[in-house]
Structure 1
Amino acid sequence: MESALSSILTLVIIAEFVIGNLSNGFIVLINCIDWVSKRQLSSVDKILIFLAISRIGLIWEILVSWFLALHYLAIFVSGTGLRIMIFSWVVSNHFSLWLATILSIFYLLKIASFSSPAFLYLKWRVNQVILMILLGTLVFLFLNLIQINIHIKDWLDQYERNTIWNFSMSGFPTFSVPVKFTMTMFSLTPFTVALISFLLLSFSLWKHLQKMQLNYKGHRDPRTKAHINALKIVISFLLLYASFFLCILISWISELYQNTLIHMLCQTIGVFYPSSHSFLLILGNPKLRQASLLVAAKVWAKR
């Protein structure tokens, strides 16, 4: 029974892998074609390109880690394979999370309307603000990698001293749980920033609707539609990443109790975040949505 469920989960994660690569690859392809043809690209499209690339890397890393954990866990004994896998996951997850957060900040500064001088200054220099935030996140990435590298070194030293300790799944939780805890703590900051952006966007929409009471235009009002579309994208990111975060927490417990099936289930649900959110980004972007409809129409016509 357990082997059958394991096979089913493997098929599901492979399907998510294919869907995630197609959706993120579509975002990169369409925007790059537009970039080449027009010789310019909007800030939001540039963010989407790098976000999609980071998520492709994250999806590949999760699949490779899944395969190695099931069949070739001993490849980590040398330490080189362990560092490569952990560092690649940290880097891809860092940019996937922070670029989605930066997208939330971009929508906030572009769409929201506040009379605060500080907000107006940030709104006026939105591109510079986005660039500075992205460069500033590299500090978090650097500190995260240093902390994890220290933990890897200490754990490998302990492993080398204990010659009778066989490298197996039973010993791996002593390493993976603290590392995941460190990575999760570094993920709380961008998640909190995205949550604040969502709350400010909601407040801005509420203020706008209050002003519209005397001259109600409903969803036909462009500013109202812009607020609602931005809120859909931000809240979908928050909900999907929250589920991803919850899966990580549950996987800690499953590793401690050596429950491989629950661990596989959590990874399967976790891959849903970088795969499905890209579809929502496509639907929320007029250019990408139109391109996807054209592709779908051509595929349907060939049938």
Structure 2
Amino acid sequence: MIPNQLTVFFMTIYLLESLTIIVQSILIVAVLSREWVQVKRLSPVDMILISLGICHFCLQWSSVLYNLFYYFNPEDDLWYIATIWEFTNTLTFWLTSVLAVVYCVKVSSFTYAIFLWLKWRILRLVPWLLLGSLMISCVTIIVSALRGVFIKRHLIAMMQLPGNNTETESLRTFIEKNYVYQRLAMLFIPFLLFLASTILLIASLCQHLRQIRHHDTGHSNFSMKAHATALRFLAFFLIFFTSYFLTIIISTTYYLRYKSYWFWAGETIIYATVSIHLTSLMLSSPTFKKVLKVSCCGPKLPEAPSTTRP
């Protein structure tokens, strides 16, 4: 089957976006790892960003391989690539929620006891949070894969029996709905954590901004600009990660055929939000921005000593 022009167009855009995401992921991992080797130390936020870079790299490759192989060979069973995609996508959601929690606890100005307790311990807890995210994602995918294998075998056994077409179709419908609900649950919990943390941080910054305006001092302009910039970044971060979540849910709920250009249009929208989200992650890292600034502008040269004529 020869794809039509719209399908080719959206496939091309999707592949270009995938290439961009892969390059962005490599940049995040390479730059932060290089800084880690040089400084012999890695901040907790950079640990999360490196983990996210690795996840997005694997996620995008698995997406490209699965979509292209399934498009040209729909008879192939590519469950292992789909499992890798599910795992890395779930882990990406958990890591993003961990990043949001860390920012919320460290930056927010709430004086509740739980915030004060976490503020002193959150950075030391980051490695454990990363390990916990990995374990939760592994357990989720293992349970999902085992359940899928069991149901698939049961479905095949029922199809071989005569006169069970109605029951087979009912079971197939149940499997599809169960898959959608399971995927919603896997992503909704970390997304809810991300959403709550980001909204709390925005509320804290807004409250602090009002306090700065109320106690107007000579240094308030700089603080207000910094807070306004942080609020814009958080709003940007919230909008695009929420868009990614919603597009994933929509693509899961409404099945589109791989031969249809609507499927590739949906993939284009999904991974456009991923690319923008990765860009915001890169700009959120002080280490990455410092290295990028040095690479673009070059290191500052020492000033020449002044000479005075006799």
Q: Which residue of 2 aligns with 1:18?
A: 19
1:277 is the counterpart of 2:273? no
- For 1:65 and 1:176, how far apart are their aligned partners in 2? 19
Q: Which residue of 2 aligns with 1:220?
A: 222
Residue deviations 1:143-190 (CA, integer Å, cap 9, x gap) = 34303431233124424653699xxxxxx9986664344122211111
Count of aligned residue pairs for this structure pair: 285
Alpha carbons of structure 1 residues 241 and 281: separation in structure 2 relative to 1, 3 Å:
closer
Task: Answer 1 or 2: which has greater helix percent.
Answer: 1
Q: Which of 134, 140, 144 is equivalent to 1:143? A: 140
Superposed displacement of residue 259, structure 1:
7.3
Q: Which residue of 2 aligns with 1:201?
A: 201
Q: What is the aligned-residue identity percentage?
A: 22
Q: Which residue of 1 aligns with 2:58?
A: 57
- For 2:42 and 2:137, how far apart are their aligned partners in 1? 28
- For 2:122 and 2:86, how far apart are their aligned partners in 1? 27
**Secondary structure at 1:143 match in 2:** helix
Q: Which residue of 1 aligns with 2:103?
A: 107
TM-score, with length taken from structure 2: 0.80
Whether contact under 8 Å (1:113, 1:204) holds in the other structure is yes
Equivalences for 1:1-303 in 2 at 5 Å?
3-76=4-77, 81-82=78-79, 84-137=80-133, 138-139=135-136, 141-159=138-156, 162=159, 178-212=178-212, 213-216=214-217, 217-218=219-220, 220-221=222-223, 225=226, 227-228=227-228, 230-252=230-252, 254-255=254-255, 260-293=260-293, 295=295
Structure 2 unmatched ranges of 5 or more: 166-171, 299-310
Q: In angstroms, what is the RMSD of aligned CA positions?
A: 3.0
**Secondary structure at 1:27 match in 2:** helix
Residue deviations 1:58-82 (CA, integer Å, cap 9, x gap) = 1111111111220122221xxxx41
Residue deviations 1:108-159 (CA, integer Å, cap 9, x gap) = 1111112112211111001233344334432354134303431233124424
**Secondary structure at 1:255 match in 2:** coil
TM-score, with length taken from structure 1: 0.81
Q: Which residue of 2 aligns with 1:168?
A: none
- For 2:88 and 2:272, how far apart are their aligned partners in 1? 16
- For 2:260 and 2:153, how far apart are their aligned partners in 1? 23
Structure 1 unmatched ranges of 5 or more: 166-171, 299-303
- For 2:83 and 2:267, how far apart are their aligned partners in 1? 18
Whether contact under 8 Å (2:241, 2:277) holds in the other structure is no
- For 1:33 and 1:135, how far apart are their aligned partners in 2? 23
**Secondary structure at 1:75 match in 2:** coil
Larger radius of gyration, structure 1 or 2?
2
